Amino acid sequence: MSEIDAVALTADLIRCPSVTPNEGGALVLLDALLADAGFECTRVDREGISNLFARWGAKGHDRTFGFNGHTDVVPVGDQAAWTTDPFGAEVKDGIMFGRGATDMKSGVAAFAAAAIDFVRDTPPDGSIILTITGDEEADAIYGTTALLDYMDKTDEKMSVCLVGEPTCPNDMGDMMKIGRRGSLTAWFTFKGKQGHSAYPHRAKNPLPAMAALVHRLASHTLDEGNAHFDASTLAVVTMDTGNPATNVIPAECRATVNIRFNDIHSGESLTSWLHAQLTDVSAETGIDIDVNIKVSGESFITPPGPLSDLVANAVQAETGRTPELSTSGGTSDARFVKNHCPVVEFGLVGKTMHQVDENVPVVQIQQLKAIYGRILRDYFA
């Protein structure tokens, strides 16, 4: 087998219309490519979501390097606003356009190509595992978690893992992720009694209670951050009454907040705090308040050490930049992998992810493959 062209593979993957939950042919393509290279491949599909597990080398080896990524993409939005076919993988002036070009078909192509070339040219004393999901951009319920469940049941194990998400804000190599903030969303419902606005004493207006609780939450300082994390944040993302009439006090209104939190907190501690705040406001206003809370992921950190050094040294060697060790940004599937083994993230510049005309410079795909290849060589040296 000749060297795998990560740029061509990225283009092939972009041409697979794998908008969550559709597989679109992306995992079928990777399954065939990896199997031809000697990887043992298993589809780990769950509830209509397609996932792929691939291992080269002995099962259970104490030196098993893992890669994790996803081939599903977000919808294209207004296709008429695109200057190219979102699934065409057109290259203009050295830049490849298409949905998933940045997030993250290029990352999957780069680590698959690097892994195949590495085991062909220098078969290591160890194993390489690739876990690739089709459910990262949606609810992430049946994706990487299904793969990790499969690994647990079959005694598969990664020693360390690198998630190939875009991590660099401006220039190739300027940032890697050694952790992520947690994410919690709370949906509040305020229940009063409808009435005529000219006779407010005959109604029970839920709006002042909503205003009071939202102000209380939004004005509270959760923390000041710490050595590895910025301060936690709470954002009010919607307040709704659905009331078109100016002479009616509504019976019900709703508000939603999202909290991105560091390791000073947990989903449990923040849930308790939110319940305490709503209990106080309910007692003060006489309005019943219900809340539904979802913790999408807990905060975590992989302390700086051998794994982050391995990745940072490879990035510096290939780009001349020493990446900042960061925990910024949203969530990723690393929040699931961290329960299995030490995990860090490194990938492309993410400026255009999820945008119209999402794109990636071809040279960055080539650099990323080179970085991943160097990481593998250094890990197994």
Q: Which residues are catalytic?
A: 72, 136
Measured between alpha carbons, how far is 226 from 107 in angstroms, rounded to an integer? Answer: 30
Phi, psi (deg, nearest 5) at residue 218? -70, -25
DSSP helix/strand/coil, 228: coil
224/248 Cα distance (integer angstroms): 42
Give the span between the Cα atoms of 301 and 334, in whole angstroms: 10
Q: At what angle do helices 267-285 and 207-218 cross, to 10 degrees?
A: 140
Q: Which residues pair with 175 in a beta bridge?
A: 324
The answer to whether 147 and 154 are in contact (CB under 8 A) is no
Could you tell me which residues come within 8 angstroms of residue 369 by beta carbon, excluding any fewer than 6 positions away? 6, 109, 110, 111, 113, 114
User: What is the rounded distance in angstroms from the CA atom of residue 171 to the CA atom of residue 272?
Assistant: 41
- CA 304 → CA 139, 206, 311, 368, distances in Å? 29, 49, 11, 21
Opening angle at CA 109, ends 108 and 112, nearest 5: 80
Residue 163 near residue 338 (C-beta atoms within 8 A): no
Pair 260, 182: CB distance under 8 Å? yes
8 Å CB contact between 260 and 331: no
Pairing verdict, β 288-297 and 182-191: antiparallel
